[in-house]
Amino acid sequence: MSDRIVSAEVLVTSPGRNFVALKITTADGAVGWGDATLNGRELAVAAYLRDHVCPILLGRDAARIEDTWQYLYRGVYWRRGPVTMAAIGAVDLALWDIKGKITGQPVYQLLGGAVRDRVLSYTHATGWDVPALADAVDAVRARGFRAVRVQTGVPGLDSVYGVTKDGAPYEPAGRGNAPAEEVWDTEAYLRHAPGALAEIRTHVGPDLALLHDAHHRLTPIQAARLGKALEPVDLFWLEDVTPAENQEVLRRVRAHTTTPLAIGEVFTTIWEYQQLITEQLIDFVRAAVSHAGGITHLRRIAALAEVWQIRLAPHGPSDVSPVALAGSLHVGLATPNFAIQEYMGYPDVVHEVFRHDWTYADGHLHPGEAPGLGVDVDETLAARFPYEPAYLPVARRRDGTLTDW
Ligand code: CS2
Ligand code: MG
């Protein structure tokens, strides 16, 4: 028996949106899949993997997951950063997949077994105005969801990221050779959002968990004001209130509001979470299993968070592929301080390219019982969808200044 890695190949496919997958094969023919999708920067991770990671994986022992993680993180000198961490994440996911397949166990069993029966999930509801949003929330509830992220349009603006005019799901990245440009007005948003969300709370009653994402666009004092104004709405969380870089500013937000804060979809290492967690500046860690170095590293972040009673709530938009979602669900089923999994959903064709054992029912997800991660990629179908340039939009203030994500 040989767990030696004999090939590592990168697959880029665009069934409705771009995905980067990594396929690792061992001498014995075991195949593991990882996700390396980094929205709008897909080819950078594909090249990083192809040119610098795949060649040095050949001949390594696929069973040595932790050592390979250390080798790719500590060993390369240039640490951190989303491109590096997404590449490491893809390798890590693929190696866990292989270990599961070789041992005949779903990955959650290898992580210590289930600590819960199923994984609570939330999805998105979007409506340009409050009645449209209320209809969208009702539709999501009818699908069984007990938690929903609610985003509305802002009076006076033509478009708002994450909100569609017809209530259809949004796609974060728009196809084309350059990012779309939107006009953003924080003051108008702050005037509108608390009232709109209060109306949604009245519409749904007290039980439905409501979440809201501010997409990093506020200053600390604006964030504090918003958190305070939203306290009567009883949010499950308010997400990404301020830009990522300066985490100290969250002390000010915390001093003014008890609205729970979720942060971290753009953070990729435990070190980027260190201050957020040890100072209790957040309530939920939003790391994606793919972007934060895979299952190995996400579990480590979760363990640090557990000490401060902070819970894990992994990122799960459409740009986190079904392979990564599987990884997230195995972690979710086996990790005590896991709270909720974002499940934005995918177009039908994505489910055909990535055939998965994980299932959704009644507001919950389950990773399934297939050995490994439980996702197979239909490579023939994937090849029919070549890469197409696509970018997240950028936003400018009314005077033309580029504003934060
Ligand atoms: C969002 C995402 O799901 C979320 O919480 O913030 O839509 C995010 O903006 C995109 O996935 C970025 O790629
Ligand atoms: Mg978000």
Q: Tens digit of pLDDT for each residue in 34-43?
A: 999 999 999 9
Closest ligand 1 atom to 317 CA = 3
Task: For the chain, give every residue range classified as CATH 3.30.390.10.
Answer: 5-105
More confident residue, 5 or 171: 5
Is 343 in contact with 144 (CB distance < 8 Å)? no
Q: How many angstroms is it from 28 CA to the middle of ligand 1?
A: 38
Per-residue pLDDT, 397:
97
Per-residue pLDDT, 1:
63
Q: Please check the confidence at residue 167 and state whether its pLDDT lies above 80.
A: no
Instruction: State the fold for domain 5-105.
Output: Enolase-like; domain 1 (3.30.390)
More confident residue, 79 or 2: 79
For residue 354, what are the contacts with CB-CB under 8 A and spacing of at least 6?
19, 321, 322, 323, 375, 376, 377, 378
Nearest to 164 by CA among 208, 201, 124: 124
Choosing from 265, 290, 320, 392 the residue with most ligand 1 atoms within 8 A of its CB, the one to mutate for a pocket test is 265
pLDDT digits (tens, 9 = 90+) for 11-39: 999 999 999 999 999 999 999 999 999 99
| Residues near ligand 1 (Cβ within 6 A) | 39, 172, 213, 215, 265, 315, 317, 319, 342, 392
Q: Please check the confidence at residue 123 and state whether its pLDDT lies above 70.
A: yes
Predicted model pTM: 0.98
Q: Which of 192, 215, 216, 330 is catalytic?
A: 215
Active site residue 356: no
Average pLDDT over residues 215-220: 97
pLDDT digits (tens, 9 = 90+) for 70-120: 999 999 999 999 999 999 999 999 999 999 999 999 999 999 999 999 999
Average pLDDT over residues 139-143: 98
Architecture of the CATH domain 110-372: Alpha-Beta Barrel (3.20)
Task: For the chain, give every residue range classified as CATH 3.20.20.120.
Answer: 110-372
Q: Please check the confidence at residue 2 and state whether its pLDDT lies above 90.
A: no
Q: Please check the confidence at residue 290 and state whether its pLDDT lies above 70.
A: yes
Nearest to 344 by CA among 149, 117, 137: 149
Active site residue 391: no
